[in-house]
A and B are shown apart, each in its own frame.
Chain A
Amino acid sequence: MLFYSFFKTQVGQQVTVELKNDLAIQGVLESVDQFLNIKLRDIHVVDPERYPHMLSIKNCFIRGSVVRYVQLSPSTVDTALLQDAARREAQSTQQMNQAKPNVAQA
């Protein structure tokens, strides 16, 4: 849930999403869900010549599994807080993994 939480704070910011098919889309992050599906608005493609069919598109929904990178601006990220959140996440998954064997047998 860490990435979901992180992207929720990015809602409303300019991001550039690079997909696994090399298409790079720049737009304002509209929303994100638990699968990290992304909705962007006011998009424009970074390399418009290769993708002329994208000229008229203003908003899009991107399935989370096809995203390769999401480029953000560093001023919107609090790295110390992110480290803390990552540590908490690691602790909780550790606890869950330790508890799992008991649960599965129950």
Chain B
Amino acid sequence: MSGSFFGLGGPADDPIARERAAFRASMPGASALDTRLESMALNDGLRDQLDEVHDTFNDETFDADSRVITGGDFDFFQSTTAGQGRMAPQQQQAAGAPRKVMTLAELEAQLIPQRHTPAPAPAPVARAPEVAWPPKLARADPETIAARRAERLQRQAALTKYDNLMSQRDKDFIIRIQVSQLLTDDPAADDFYCHMFQLSRGAVPAAGATQQRDGAGDGAGGDASSAVRALQEALAQRGVQAPVGGEPEQLGAGAQRDQHFGRARRSNTQSSMARMQQQVQRFVNEARRRPKIPHVALEGALGKISVNSARNPKQVIQVQRGHSSSVSHPAHDAKQQSPSAYDLGGVFSGLGDARSPAAERRKTLRAVENVYTAVLRLEQLIREHSRLPSSADHPSVQNWVRAYSEARDWAWAELGAAQPIMNVYPHPLVRFLAFSKGKRVIPRLAHHLSIDQVLALTTTIIANFESLDVCRFGSFGQSAESSISTRQREETELFLHAALPPALSFLSEASVQLVNGLLALFMERNNVAWVARTRPALVFLTVVLGRTAALKQAGALGAGDDPQALYQATELYNHLFGTLQGGLSSVFPPAALSQAGDPLEDAYAWQFLATLALGASVEQQHALVTEVRDKVLEAIQLAKSGRFPADVAAAITANINLFLNTLGLDASQVTM
């Protein structure tokens, strides 16, 4: 606890630092270079400067009264006789007091009066540099040179006095014990977080580490590399090596030394690193030969001794590991009584396969976790893919393909999107999506699914749209008094940002027939007027209508889509419009234009109206304008009212213009 953690700075005047330095010196590869390092480490950079006690240069400021300094003329250069007079008694005290063993200090104490006395009258500027900073290089006195050499030899002798107490075999033994505790069977899995984190943040590989680790660490290389990295960190602490993990500020002193000794030191550490790697390799091979058993039972002894390592630490708490798949809790009323805590959208209060909502919930949770397991496996396989041989008929490639499709099929089965729609209510997929972690895994899984599977997923979502949890509370929250709670809002956001985009991107690339079919399905299975009040439904409709309009334009240009499908699209549109007519003003969220709400909340509603207007005929446009007129006026008034800063008002106007421009109007044309 001396403040010199790395052994830098300060003379080695405590036995601990000395022994530490001694151990370091005795490490294999000690050479003249290390000795120089040592002396440099012990040297505190002040060379032949005065010890603190003898340095009287600033005594006037440090010992002085503040009034003296700020009051009359303060002479910084001690040119007055008063200053000198005060110095003399102090010197005598200082020189007498610390009778240290160091000969150098004694000599310098004698030298001080010689330095100070012949300097009374001349210009203060000339005096100042003579005394203290910057330190002059080697003085020509043969005495001081000899004194310094003697001093250095003494220090060396003191340090090497206890060298070579341990043989190399002893050191290997100890290192083997420590390293063997770090060794793991599967370093890629054990160090997963660290490895992937560094990859994602742009890892800086440690200097001198030659092993490149990829996701599926193989055999001996993998084992050794994790242990070697641990050792590298240990070395880095001692300031011997360049930093790990891209944090150069950690070892400023080490960086300084780098500049001084450059290549020579680097090769020195590299060779010791290489030696350590060989050692670790040997340990790994030995550990491999005998498999590690957590319990050791000797012959004729009573009982077992448990061997603790990092992998199976000493257990502090006893956890009962029963079979967690049993679902027999018929009288689980607690969860039923407070559904709001668990089940925001009322999704779990419907009928299901299992006996109770709680059991149903647990089943769905198990399915979500299985999908996660499968997705992790898929991602791992993708990472391994790069390491496979390129020829297609190599057995490992076939294994890979089989493993990949197995995992994918399992995930698909667990997802439940392919289950027939009529069986249970709510649909298993809907229950799956009721959890936020279910919503989060969808985009990751969709990345691996085939087009058909994505289509099936989209179809199922559309067919059951109104039973989705986000739609259920989205619609409940439309009454005047209540507003959507924070958690519901988060779930909706998550749904729109995670679960829906794969379906939407599929839609935006789909053909006319597909889009028509899906829109028809949507209108058939859901109560459009009711569900149109919810944001997810509006977003979905916006995308569908936008796609239809784009396809119609392409068809008008003669891009080759069959006209019957386009005609059908128009029919569907009319049907949709008819259903929505009369309720269009309820498309807007209730709290949007009130005092407390965010005025830009209704952007999605304006976007929907804009896409709706795209496909509208003239009469439909008239009807549209009539219905939404009040809202438009209100919004324009709000923008002009000056209650909001300029950019917010501009954004409100832009939203309105989205809608008005498709009709050929503009907000500025509206006269109040």
**Taking beta carbons and an 8 Å cutoff, which residues of A are in contact with B?**
1-2, 4-6, 8-9, 11-12, 28, 30-31, 33-35, 39, 41, 56-60, 78, 80-82, 84-85, 87-89, 91-92, 96-97, 100, 103-104, 106
Assembled-state Cα–Cα distance A58/B312 (Å): 34
Q: Is the CB of A91 within 8 A of B373?
A: yes
* Smallest Cβ-Cβ distance to A86: which chain B residue: B193
Q: Which of the residues A12, A30, A34 comes within 8 Å of B237, measured between beta carbons? A: A30
Is residue B133 contacting chain A, with contact meaning CB distance below 8 A?
Answer: no
The tally of residues in B whose CB lies under 8 Å from a CB in A reads 40
Q: Is the CB of B233 within 8 A of A12?
A: no
Assembled-state Cα–Cα distance A89/B285 (Å): 25
B5: chain A residues at CB < 8 Å are 41, 58-59
B230: chain A residues at CB < 8 Å are 33-34
Interface stretch of the complex, out of B110-118, B243-251, B570-578:
B243-251
Assembled-state Cα–Cα distance A3/B193 (Å): 9
B282: chain A residues at CB < 8 Å are none
Q: Is the CB of A1 within 8 A of B250?
A: no
Give chain B nearest CB distance to A99 CB in angstroms: 11
Interface stretch of the complex, out of B134-142, B183-191, B460-468, B478-486:
B183-191
Q: Is the CB of A84 within 8 A of B376?
A: yes
Q: Is the CB of B247 within 8 A of A103?
A: no
- The 3 closest A-B CB pairs, nearest first, are A12-B247, A85-B193, A59-B5
Q: Is the CB of A11 within 8 A of B189?
A: no
Given contacts A58-B3, A103-B293, contact A8 B376 (CB under 8 A): no
Give chain B nearest CB distance to A35 CB in angstroms: 8
0 or 1 for each of B228-254: is its CB under 8 Å from A? (1 = yes) = 001001101100000011010110000
Q: Which of the residues A12, A58, A100 comes within 8 Å of B245, measured between beta carbons? A: A12
Q: Is the CB of A11 within 8 A of B376?
A: no
Q: 17 A-B pairs, CB-CB below 8 angstroms?
A: A1-B190, A1-B191, A4-B310, A5-B191, A5-B195, A12-B247, A31-B237, A34-B230, A34-B310, A56-B1, A57-B1, A81-B193, A85-B192, A88-B189, A91-B373, A100-B294, A106-B293
B640: chain A residues at CB < 8 Å are none
* Smallest Cβ-Cβ distance to B311: which chain A residue: A1
A84: chain B residues at CB < 8 Å are 192, 196, 372, 376
Q: Is the CB of A11 within 8 A of B244?
A: yes
Given contacts A5-B190, A104-B294, contact A97 B321 (CB under 8 A): yes
B200: chain A residues at CB < 8 Å are 78, 81
Give chain B nearest CB distance to A89 CB in angstroms: 8
Is residue B625 contacting chain A, with contact meaning CB distance below 8 A?
Answer: no
Q: Is the CB of A1 within 8 A of B376?
A: no
A35: chain B residues at CB < 8 Å are 310
Having A12-B245, A31-B234, A85-B192, one finds 4 other A-B pairs with CB under 8 Å, namely: A5-B190, A11-B233, A60-B1, A84-B372
A-facing residues in B177-226 (Cβ within 8 Å): 181-182, 184, 186, 189-198, 200
Given contacts A34-B182, A87-B372, contact A5 B3 (CB under 8 A): no
Give chain B nearest CB distance to A58 CB in angstroms: 5
Q: Which of the residues B249, B293, B310, B376 comes within 8 Å of A104, measured between beta carbons? A: B293
A-facing residues in B615-639 (Cβ within 8 Å): none
Give chain A nearest CB distance to B159 CB in angstroms: 23
Given contacts A31-B233, A31-B237, A87-B372, contact A2 B295 (CB under 8 A): no
A28: chain B residues at CB < 8 Å are 250
Q: Is the CB of A87 within 8 A of B376?
A: yes
Give chain B nearest CB distance to A93 CB in angstroms: 9
Q: Is the CB of B189 within 8 A of A92?
A: yes
Q: Is the CB of A87 within 8 A of B373?
A: yes
Q: Is the CB of A12 within 8 A of B250?
A: yes
Q: Is the CB of A11 within 8 A of B247?
A: yes
Q: Is the CB of B197 within 8 A of A78?
A: yes
Assembled-state Cα–Cα distance A35/B309 (Å): 10
Give chain A nearest CB distance to B503 CB in angstroms: 21
Assembled-state Cα–Cα distance A17/B312 (Å): 25
Q: Is the CB of A88 within 8 A of B3?
A: no
Assembled-state Cα–Cα distance A38/B200 (Å): 25
B182: chain A residues at CB < 8 Å are 34
A78: chain B residues at CB < 8 Å are 197, 200
* Smallest Cβ-Cβ distance to A91: which chain B residue: B373
Assembled-state Cα–Cα distance A86/B428 (Å): 26
Assembled-state Cα–Cα distance A93/B194 (Å): 18
A8: chain B residues at CB < 8 Å are 191, 194, 233, 245
Give chain A nearest CB distance to B16 CB in angstroms: 13
Q: Is the CB of B190 within 8 A of A9?
A: no
B293: chain A residues at CB < 8 Å are 103-104, 106
Q: Is the CB of A5 within 8 A of B192?
A: yes
Assembled-state Cα–Cα distance A35/B129 (Å): 54
Assembled-state Cα–Cα distance A31/B25 (Å): 23
Assembled-state Cα–Cα distance A4/B369 (Å): 24
Assembled-state Cα–Cα distance A31/B244 (Å): 10
* Smallest Cβ-Cβ distance to B182: which chain A residue: A34
Given contacts A30-B250, A91-B373, A97-B321, contact A9 B189 (CB under 8 A): no
Q: Is the CB of B310 within 8 A of A11?
A: no
Give chain B nearest CB distance to A105 CB in angstroms: 10
Q: Is the CB of A11 within 8 A of B197?
A: no
Assembled-state Cα–Cα distance A57/B184 (Å): 36
Q: Is the CB of B295 within 8 A of A6?
A: no
B192: chain A residues at CB < 8 Å are 5, 84-85, 88-89
Give chain B nearest CB distance to A57 CB in angstroms: 6
Assembled-state Cα–Cα distance A8/B376 (Å): 22
A58: chain B residues at CB < 8 Å are 3, 5
A11: chain B residues at CB < 8 Å are 233, 244-245, 247
Assembled-state Cα–Cα distance A57/B245 (Å): 26
Assembled-state Cα–Cα distance A57/B5 (Å): 10
* Smallest Cβ-Cβ distance to A9: which chain B residue: B197
Q: Which of A6, A34, A58 has the most CB of B within 10 A?
A: A34
Give chain A nearest CB distance to B636 CB in angstroms: 41
Given contacts A11-B247, A12-B247, A104-B293, contact A82 B3 (CB under 8 A): no
Q: Is the CB of A82 within 8 A of B294?
A: no
Assembled-state Cα–Cα distance A56/B5 (Å): 13
